Amino acid sequence: MKTTIYTSDNKYSLKKIAVEIWEGFLEGQGLAYQLFKRDLKASYQKSLLGVLWLFIPPFFTAGIWIFLNDQGIVAIQDTPMRYAAFALCGSILWSLFAEAMNKPMVRFQTAMSMLSKLNFPREALILNAFYEQLFSLFLKLLVLIPVLMFLGYYPNWTWVWGLLGILGLILVGFTFGLLICPLGLLYMDIGKALPLVLPFAMYLSPVIYPLRSDGVLLKLQNYNPVTPFLELARSSFGEYDFVMWDAVGIWTIVLLFGFGLSLVIMKISMPVIVERSGF
């Protein structure tokens, strides 16, 4: 049986923390899977629509914009795909990012009582959130692919780039989600603000309109980490040219560093957060 000894030493070694995080992920795999199965069953046990709630928000958003565009209420022109496919791809891809950003905080909030009473690798909760995200991705691809085929876009080898773009979106979401998680666990305002901020942020990203060539939106797109990965995925599915390879490379490096930093911050801050949680 593993014994943990707590001391008053406040000196942190980055190498030691990195090793503990790695060991936490290895040791927490089994628990993460068990939590994933439990949470999956509990999430849809008392829901009539069940997993359909994974699709309703992005399909609803895309449907509104497709209707508005078809009726001439808004005029979104020069999209590199048929607009129905363009808006649907964008909405589903954005939903994957938004879910990835929300999941870490939600998982830690729901497990706060368990965190205060049991000693287990905290990284198991991050793995749990990641398993849930992969499950959501799998189901959404099961729906998106047939819809794209119906609209005239058939799978080919370039769709591999689309999957890499989706993984990039998930990395963006998890990195930002973990960075804000400590504050979100201490202050409820963060969790309440996210549903307000994310819809607004969606309209600053090329989700329902194509990339801009000038103006304020162009500048926002250039500094938006979601943009290159979303465009990489959608351009692969829609078979049009992708022009943001440099941005993908730069943001991948930045996000990998940011993800590692977020894990370190979570590792250091969790004892304080659990102590102040009041459970």
Query: What is the predicted pLDDT for the residue at 61?
Result: 80
Position 1 scores a pLDDT of 46
pTM to 2 decimal places:
0.87
pLDDT one-digit tens code per residue, 72-95: 777 787 888 898 899 999 999 999
Flag residues of the chain having pLDDT under 70.
1-12, 43-53, 55, 213-215, 277-279
Q: Which residue has the tokens 């080919």?
A: 156
> What local confidence, expressed as pLDDT, does residue 171 receive?
95
Q: Give 197's contacts (C-beta < 8 A, 6+ positions apart).
A: none
Rounded Cα gap, residues 113 and 42, in angstroms = 17
Q: Which residue shows structure tokens 């999209």?
A: 79
Residue 273: the pLDDT is 85
Residue spans per domain, the chain: 50-277
Look up residue 151 and give its DSSP letter.
Answer: T
The residue whose two tokens read 């993908």 is 248
Q: What's the CA gap between 245 and 226, in Å, rounded?
A: 13
d(CA 264, CA 65): 41
CA-to-CA dists, residue 95 to 28, 42, 50, 123, 234, angstroms: 27, 21, 17, 24, 13
- At residue 63, the pLDDT reads 80
The SS3 of residue 63 is helix
Instruction: Mark residue 5 as left, alpha or beta (left: phi above 0; alpha: psi -120 to 50; beta: remaining).
Output: beta
Q: What is the pLDDT of residue 228?
A: 93
Residue located via tokens 């014994």: 3
The predicted pLDDT at position 6 comes to: 44
Predicted local confidence at residue 45, as pLDDT = 64
> In which residue are the tokens 């370190």 written?
264
Q: Name every residue whose Cβ is closer than 8 Å to that of residue 13 and which is 6 or more positions away in sequence.
A: none
Residue 88 contacts by C-beta under 8 Å, 6 or more apart in sequence?
58, 59, 62, 66, 144, 147
Residue range 137-150, pLDDT digits in tens: 988 888 888 889 99
